[in-house]
């Protein structure tokens, strides 16, 4: 069994999607939040998953918070750490400690729109296609090797909320898929800085474009 620790800051719907996927060979050993009021903690408790809070406001520095967080995570002997709406910038030391076993989901088609307010910025930029990305975490924010992406159309009349909702549906598809691949041991970091999914066909691997909505 691969031990998976999931970090959240809020609603936790991606965490929920991963738990509900019941990925063979994966055991969600803990859900950890940096916010005591994160909605996702309730779901974890209801599903008898160990849940913990490390409140970043209780620490004098980013380094001190990350060190405490890492100590807690390591107590669960994780094979994989999953950032699921975890809204803290992590120190290089933290990222290096979990190199190759730290995944994040970001609500845009990276490398477009790293950082915050991605849906608003996509609308402002007038892009016709938007989406979401699961990637390995590296020290540069929202920049690591891409595992899987899903694209959605930007429709006339969209606002931030409607676009975010369309993207979220795809997040709930691709994050469990990425975790499944990791747990199956099929993700390979390539020398070129990308990710190869072993056993997938020859084409551009690890991407998916869902059907365009009417
Ligand atoms: C998701 O849309 C995720 O992509 C985003 O936060 C949301 C969390 O939703 N993450 C980031 O913006 C990370 N920079 P959830 O709590 O319902 O999973």
Share of the chain above pLDDT 90, in %: 93
pLDDT confidence of residue 135: 98
Question: Which amino acids bring their CB within 6 angstroms of ligand 1?
Answer: 8, 10-14, 84-85, 105-107, 168, 171
Same domain, 199 and 116: yes
Residue written as tokens 């160990």?
50
Query: Of ligand 1's atoms, which has the minimum distance to the CA of residue 17?
Result: 18
Query: What residues are labeled active site?
Result: 106
Q: Could you read off the pLDDT of 70-118 as tens digits, one per residue?
A: 999 999 999 999 999 999 999 999 999 999 999 999 999 999 999 999 9
Atom 9 of ligand 1, residue of closest alpha carbon = 85
Are residues 100 and 94 in contact, defined by beta-carbon separation less than 8 angstroms? no
- CA-CA distance, 41 to 211, in Å (whole number)? 33
- pLDDT at 207 exceeding the cut of 70: no
Within a domain: residue 103? no
Within a domain: residue 140? no
- CA-CA distance, 175 to 149, in Å (whole number)? 9
Q: Which domain holds residue 128?
A: 109-135+146-214
pTM confidence score: 0.95
Q: Which pLDDT band holds residue 200 (cuts at 50, 70, 90)?
A: confident
In this structure, the number of other CB atoms found within 10 A of the CB of residue 180 comes to: 16
pLDDT confidence of residue 6: 99
Residue written as tokens 């063979």?
24
Q: Which of 98, 127, 157 is the last residue of a domain?
A: 98
How many structural domains comprise the chain? 2
């Amino acid at each position: 069994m691969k031990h998976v620790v999931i970090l959240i800051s809020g609603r936790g719907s991606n965490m929920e999607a991963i738990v509900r996927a019941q990925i063979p060979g994966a055991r969600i050993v803990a859900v950890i939040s940096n916010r005591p009021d994160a909605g996702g903690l309730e779901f974890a408790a209801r599903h008898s998953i160990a849940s913990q809070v490390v409140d970043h406001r209780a620490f004098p520095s980013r380094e001190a918070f990350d060190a405490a967080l890492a100590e807690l995570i390591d107590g669960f002997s994780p094979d994989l750490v999953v950032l699921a709406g975890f809204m803290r910038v992590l120190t290089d030391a933290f990222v290096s400690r979990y190199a190759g076993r730290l995944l994040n989901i970001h609500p845009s088609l990276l490398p477009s729109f790293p950082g915050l307010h991605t849906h608003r910025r996509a609308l402002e930029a007038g892009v016709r296609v938007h989406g979401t990305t699961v990637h390995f975490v590296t020290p540069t924010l929202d920049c690591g090797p891409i595992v899987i992406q899903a694209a959605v159309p930007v429709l006339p009349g969209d606002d931030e909320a409607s676009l975010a909702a369309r993207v979220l549906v795809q997040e709930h598809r691709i994050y469990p898929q990425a975790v499944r691949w990791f747990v199956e041991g099929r993700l390979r970091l390539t020398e070129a800085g990308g990710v190869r999914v072993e056993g997938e066909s020859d084409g551009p691997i690890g991407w998916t474009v869902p059907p365009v909505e009417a």
